[in-house]
Amino acid sequence: MKKTPLLFKISALCVAFAYTAQAQQPVTSKFSTAGKKVTVYTTAENTNYRLAKTETVNFTTNEQPKESEACIFVDPAKTFQTVLGIGGALTDASAETFYKLPKAKQQEILTNYYDPKNGIGYTLGRTHIQSCDFSSDSYSYVINNDVDLKSFDIGHDKKYRIPFIKQIIAAAGGKLTMFATPWSPPAWMKTNNDVLHGGSLKAEYDQPWANFYVKFIKAYEKEGIPIWGLSVQNEPMANQTWESCIYTAAEERDFVKNFLGPTLHKSGMADKKLIIWDHNRDLLYQRASTVLEDPEAAKYVWGTGFHWYVHDVFDNVKRVKEAFPDKNLIFTEGCSERFNMSTIHEWKWGELYGKSMINDFNNGVVGWTDWNILLDEKGGPNHVGNFCFAPVHADTKTGEIIYMNAFYYIGHFSKFVRPMAKRVISSSNRDALQTTAFINQDGKLAVVVMNGTDQNLPYQLIIKGKSAATVSLPHSIATLVVD
């Protein structure tokens, strides 16, 4: 694949681990276009543009645009949530694939994902507690019936996943905001005596399972991998053929209130950010409200996580932010399912990411986490055959690295929207042009504009009576950097 250099230079910013929730009410800040230009970076179908610098545009005066003009109106004075980070999941499958590659290819992947200057600058990571579907097998950290967890051992992870994560942290400049998620408790703790096929946590193991999270955090941090936060359960309403465990909203609330929250606090881990739900947008409001309307549960909860496997119900994200403005929202997982190498370059995959990220950020999310950062030529490895796409695939037989257009679509956010940036108003007067915008701590304004049509769409970027003219290419995404 032809590689296009990632040209935009941006300083690496440190993530503040003591992250504070930002209410959705706007905050006023000062911004001027005086002396600034607009640099446009583009990824477009049927071109060689992949995060490529395509033009630089000057501002002119345009106090009142005509209704016939397509416009993106940006108001940097109205700021909303603070960005935590953007990144992807660091799974067994990604780690195993990575170590099947030549050293040079490994370094290429690390640079392209985590270097903020020469790559797309990921700053957020998710990993799993025990095995998940994207592991080569099912495994546990404890032996059967060890209620006291004396046998707890993460030895399995030390072969691939832990070295992989440590290399990534180094590639990201020594800091990565990491959160962890369990797919299932050990089989003997569950009603179905199986880590697969759903089942629920037996009541008598509520406390041992809460202790399990603490053991995991301590073990990983001993290995030099700081854990910023954790979610209670991956997809708690999904009875899957792979590792899964069911919690009703009330069960999750009570587990957080009576066991997990107090256990984290008693263990000196009150600073760890606790995420509820971690499933699709469809039940998002019902799940969040059940937990967050209980003050004794809500006091332990940093925010609500969600996935995209029920698409387009974006207003459910907004409803949660409206109802609980002092709690955070984070996108915790998404991927394109049913891997098929023959469709890997179809443009729809990137546009799926662009649409989701624009809507999710506009509705209040502070972080956005893709699923596996790397998979092999089969869309795995995966011990139940649940093969999927990732933004980057590696042919482990030839060493070829394949970058899906999704990689570049995500990069239009992660490269230019850095941790601690604040979302600002970005309003389009044409349905064909979707947009969101952010102002970074260094004062650079990043405006993302996506065109999912077959048409060239000329438009004006307008900021308080100043206008910069450009054209959105067919099936493209662009980041306009005002600096």
| Domain ranges within the chain, ordered by starting residue | 37-81+424-482, 85-418
- The Cβ-side half-sphere exposure at 476, using a 13 Å CA radius, reads 26
Which residues does residue 276 pair with via DSSP β-bridges, in sequence order? 304
- The Cβ-side half-sphere exposure at 165, using a 13 Å CA radius, reads 29
Helix (H/G/I), strand (E/B), else coil: 397: coil
- pLDDT (tens, 9 = 90+) of the chain, 483 residues, equals 334 444 333 333 333 333 344 444 555 568 999 999 999 999 999 999 999 999 999 999 999 999 999 999 999 999 999 999 999 999 999 999 999 999 999 999 999 999 999 999 999 999 999 999 999 999 999 999 999 999 999 999 999 999 999 999 999 999 999 999 999 999 999 999 999 999 999 999 999 999 999 999 999 999 999 999 999 999 999 999 999 999 999 999 999 999 999 999 999 999 999 999 999 999 999 999 999 999 999 999 999 999 999 878 999 999 999 999 999 999 999 999 999 999 999 999 999 999 999 999 999 999 999 999 999 999 999 999 999 999 999 999 999 999 999 999 999 999 999 999 999 999 999 999 999 999 999 999 999 999 999 999 999 999 999 999 999 999 999 999 999
Helix (H/G/I), strand (E/B), else coil: 195: coil
H or E segment to which residue 291 belongs? helix 284-292
Domain 37-81+424-482: CATH architecture, name and number where available: Sandwich (2.60)
CB 77 within 8 A of CB 31: yes
**Which listed residue (45, 235, 243, 252) is catalytic?**
235
Residue 186: both structure tokens together: 């050990």
Residue 232: both structure tokens together: 């209670």
Q: Is 333 one of the annotated active-site residues of the chain?
A: yes
**Any residues with CB less than 8 A from the CB of 217 and at least 6 apart, and which?**
180, 227, 230, 269, 272
Residue 317: both structure tokens together: 């994200």
Helix (H/G/I), strand (E/B), else coil: 81: strand
CB 390 within 8 A of CB 95: no
Q: Which CATH number fits domain 85-418: 3.40.50.970, 2.40.10.220, 3.90.320.10, 3.20.20.80?
A: 3.20.20.80
C-alpha 443/C-alpha 446 separation (Å) is 10
Torsion, CA 143, CA 147, CA 148, CA 150, rounded to 10: 0
Q: What is the pLDDT of residue 5?
A: 42
Residue 115: both structure tokens together: 């270097």
H or E segment to which residue 329 belongs? strand 328-333
CB 436 within 8 A of CB 477: no
Q: Is 293 one of the annotated active-site residues of the chain?
A: no
Helix (H/G/I), strand (E/B), else coil: 428: strand
C-alpha 195/C-alpha 29 separation (Å) is 50
108 CB burial (10 A radius; 0-12, 13-18, 19+):
middle
Q: What is the pLDDT of residue 26?
A: 55
C-alpha 59/C-alpha 7 separation (Å) is 22
Q: What is the pLDDT of residue 29?
A: 60
Helix (H/G/I), strand (E/B), else coil: 294: coil
H or E segment to which residue 54 belongs? strand 52-58
Residue 417: both structure tokens together: 């929207």
**Which listed residue (45, 96, 333, 351) is catalytic?**
333
Q: 267-291: b or e for each residue (b if 16 or more CB lie within 10 Å)?
A: bebeebbbbbbbbbbbbbbebbbbb
CB 264 within 8 A of CB 252: no
C-alpha 69/C-alpha 75 separation (Å) is 18
CB 314 within 8 A of CB 301: no
Name residue 133's amino acid.
D
C-alpha 84/C-alpha 328 separation (Å) is 10
